Amino acid sequence: MSDIAPSVSANPSTEQLSTKVVLAVADAKNVDPLDLPPLYYAIDPDALDQLFQSRCQTRASGTATVRFTFAGCDVVVASGNQVTVTLTDSDTERDIEA
């Protein structure tokens, strides 16, 4: 059974993608973002931000997808700064799209 949660509120013009990832994972786990381990344990946040920022600025064709595990969740970041979080450390899996 999977529940779709509301999108994490993020202003793509001012909020870094790495911040959006942390907020989406915190929302999926129903915890405060400060209770999560640092994102850099899973992926380089600056590289993630730069990868998708440069793709938006250059309007590169095609799609980019980055997959990684963070704080017991599978995270997929896709073109358009779409973040999908799937809980993996509980009996019930939930997909969260932000």
pLDDT in tens, 36-72: 999 999 999 999 999 888 655 555 566 789 999 999 9
DSSP assignment of 7-26, as one string? PPP--TTTS-HHHHHHHHHH
Of the candidates 26, 8, 16, the one whose C-alpha atom is nearest the C-alpha of residue 51 is: 16
Q: Give me the number of domains the chain comprises.
A: 1
Tokens of 67: 């997959």
Which residue range(s) make up the domain with 19?
Answer: 4-97
Q: Can you tell me the distance from the alpha carbon of 15 to that of 32, in angstroms, rounded to the nearest whole number?
A: 18
Span 71-98, mean pLDDT?
Answer: 78
pLDDT in tens, 15-26: 899 999 999 999
pLDDT in tens, 62-73: 678 999 999 999
